[in-house]
Amino acid sequence: MSFDLAARLAARRAEHLYRQRPLLESPQGPQVVVDGQPLLAFCNNDYLGLANHPQVIEAWRDAASRWGVGGGASHLVIGHSTPHHELEEALADLTGRPRALLFSTGYMANLGAVTALVGQGDTVLEDRLNHASLLDAGLLSGARFNRYLHNDAASLAKRLEKATGNTLVVTDGVFSMDGDVADLPALARETKARGAWLMVDDAHGFGPLGANGGGLVEHFGLGLDEVPVLVGTLGKAFGTAGAFVAGSEELIETLVQFARPYIYTTSQPPALACATRKSLELLRSEHWRREHLANLIRQFRLGAEQIGLELMDSFTPIQPIMVGDSTRAVELSRMLRSRGIMVTAIRPPTVPAGSARLRVTLSAAHSEAQVQLLLSALADCFSELQTRPGHA
C-alpha cells in the first residue's frame, strides 16, 4: 500500500485547480519582475506601499548591526528582546488596548489564541467565509465547532442559543477573498448578550481602515468590551512580517502561558521588530497614504462599473471581479499577463465552487495612471473573451 500522490496531482490539474508559485525577481511594489517578465502588479497585500520603503529598510539594516539577525530562542527562554517588547507596546497603543503579544505569523496568532481560550466542553462559532487559519484553529481546539451564515448576526444568535461552556465567536474583519467587512457592531451585540467573547482577525483592515489606521474596530468605534480579542498581521499594510494579538492584561498573560504556537517557537528577528516599529510610525503619521488609496478604490470601482464588470461589495483595497468559472478566470488572468498586468485568479477550494474570481488589490504605491492601465486592459480582455466561441 502506498500514497498515490501522482493521481492526486493529476486530478487537481484536470480540475484546473493546480497551483504554481510565481517567482518574484524584484522587490515588492507596483512594478515587479515575475518569472523574468516585467509586470504591473495588482495582487499583493502591501496596501500602504511600505514593504520596500527606504526608512523601513534603513531601520532593519541599522537594527541588524546592533541586534543581529536571529531571535536565537523562544520568547520564554531568552528570545524576548527589547525591540520585541517595544513593538508590543507600540501595537498596544495603536489598538488602544493594555497589551499586545507578537507572533511569528498570522496563522500562529489565530491558532494560538483560539486553542488557548477554548477546548473540550466549550464552543467556537465562526463565519462561514473565515480565513483557513481561523477555521483550522476552531477545529483543532477540541471545542464544539459550528459556522454561522456569512456576516449574519441573526444566524449567529441562533447558534449562540445552543452554545455550551465558554463560547468564542470568531470572524475576519475584512474578508480576504470578498473584500467586504464584518458587521462588528451587530456581531458584538449578539455576542455580549449571550456572555460570549468576540475575536476579530483584522489582518486586512489594519492600515487602510480607521482614522489612524487602527483597522475595522477603530472604524466602528468599538473597544475592549465589544471585541476582547483583536488579531492583526504585519505582512500586509505594515509591509514587514509577523502578527500580534491585542487585548487585556489577563488575555495576553493567558496566551503567554497557554498558546502553544507562541511558547514553542523561536522569536522573530529583533531587527524585524525594529523595521515594523518604523512602518508603524509611517502608517500612523502619513495619512496621505490612506487618502490616496481611498481615491484609487473609488476610481477603480467607477471604471469597472462603466465597463460592466461584476464587482463585490467592498470599500477596501480588495476588489474582486466575479467570474464564476475557474477556467475562465485563469484565462482572463493569462490574458492580462500577456498585456503586462498581473492579477491573480482565485479558484476553489480557496473560494466556494462556482465563484472563481480575479482578485484585484490596490496599494497606495499605485498611481491613478496605473489604475487606468488596469481598467483599459480589463475592458479589452473581457471584450475579447466574450467574442470567443463558447464564451458568449
11 occurs within a structural domain: no
Query: Looking at the domain assignment, is residue 277 inside a domain?
Result: yes
Secondary structure of 116-174 in HEC code, one letter for each residue:
HHCCCCCEEEEECCCCHHHHHHHHHCCCEEEEECCCCHHHHHHHHHCCCCCEEEEEECE
Q: Do both 359 and 243 map to the same domain? A: no
- In 3D, which of 176, 186, 156, 109 has the Cα closest to residue 314? 176
* Residue 13 domain flag: no
Strands of the sheet with 99-103, listed across from one edge:
99-103, 243-247, 229-233, 197-201, 167-172, 123-127, 144-148
145 and 206 inside one domain: yes
Instruction: Confirm whether residue 131 is marked as ligand binding.
Output: yes
Are 153 and 183 contacting, i.e. CB atoms less than 8 angstroms apart?
A: yes
Q: What is the CATH number of the domain that holds 84?
A: 3.40.640.10
> Residue 119: which domain range?
54-285
Q: What is the mean pLDDT of residues 310-338?
A: 94
Note whether 186 and 322 are same-domain residues. no
In a shared domain, residues 343 and 225: no
- Rounding to the nearest 10 degrees, give the CA dihedral for residues 42, 29, 206, 273: 150
Q: Does 260 show up as a binding residue in the annotation? A: no
Annotated binding-site residue? 204:
yes
Same domain, 264 and 328: no
Query: 269 with 319, same domain?
Result: no
**Residues 93-106: pLDDT tens digits?**
999 999 999 999 99
Of 129-143, 248-262, 320-334, least confident by mean pLDDT is 320-334
Summarised one tens digit per residue, pLDDT across range 350-359 is 888 888 999 9
Whether residue 250 is contained in a domain is answered as: yes
**What is the Rg, in whole angstroms, of the alpha carbon atoms belonging to the chain?**
21
Q: Are residues 232 and 348 in the same domain?
A: no
141 is in an annotated binding site: no
Higher pLDDT, 348 or 366: 366
Q: Residue 310: which CATH number?
A: 3.90.1150.10
pLDDT tens track for 307-316: 999 999 999 9
Active site residues: 176, 204, 236
Instruction: Put the strands of the sheet holding 341-342 in their side by side order.
Output: 31-34, 37-41, 341-342
pLDDT of residue 389: 63
More confident residue, 299 or 350: 299
Tell me: do 175 and 248 sit in the same domain: yes
How many domains does the chain fold into? Answer: 2
Average pLDDT, stretch 375-392?
81
Same domain, 200 and 226: yes
Which residues neighbour 173 within 8 Å (Cβ) at sequence distance 6 or greater? 181, 182, 184, 200, 201, 202, 203, 204, 205, 209, 215, 216, 217
Q: Would you tell me the crossing angle of helices 82-95 and 270-285 to the nearest 10 degrees?
A: 30
What are the contacts of 72-77 at 24+ separation with CB within 8 A?
72/266, 72/267, 73/266, 73/267, 74/263, 74/264, 74/265, 74/266, 74/267, 75/102, 75/256, 75/262, 75/263, 75/267, 76/256, 76/263
Q: Is it the case that residue 391 has pLDDT exceeding 80?
A: no
Of 247, 269, 285, which residue is a domain's last? 285
106 is in an annotated binding site: yes
Residue ending a domain, choose from 285, 318, 344: 285
Q: Which of 15-19, 30-34, 94-98, 255-259 comes out lowest in average pLDDT? A: 15-19
pLDDT bracket for residue 18 (50, 70, 90): confident
In a domain, 108, yes or no: yes
Residues 308, 160 share a domain: no
Q: Give the chain's mean pLDDT.
A: 95
| pLDDT for the residue numbered 338 | 96
Count of alpha carbons within 13 Å of 357, Cβ hemisphere only? 22
The tens digit of pLDDT for each residue in 127-149 reads 999 999 999 999 999 999 999 99
Task: Indicate the residue among 285, 317, 352 that finishes a domain.
Answer: 285
51-77 average pLDDT score: 97
Nearest CA-CA partner of 37 in 350, 311, 342 = 342
pLDDT at 366: 98
Please report whether residue 6 resides in a domain.
Answer: no
Q: Are residues 297 and 379 in the same domain?
A: yes
pTM of the model: 0.94
Residue 9 lies in a domain: no
Nearest to 250 by CA among 177, 303, 308, 197: 197
| % of residues, the chain, pLDDT over 70 | 98
Question: Are 262 and 131 found together in one domain?
Answer: yes
Determine whether the annotation assigns residue 95 to a binding site. Answer: no
User: Is 164 labelled as part of a ligand binding site?
Assistant: no
Per-residue model confidence (pLDDT) at position 392: 47
Is there a binding annotation on residue 21? no
Res. 390 pLDDT band, cuts 50 70 90: low
Taking only the tens place, the pLDDT of each residue in 198-250 is: 999 999 999 999 999 999 999 999 999 999 999 999 999 999 999 999 999 99
CA distance linking residue 199 with residue 111, whole number of Å: 12
| 324: three-class secondary structure by DSSP | strand
Does 14 reside within a domain?
no
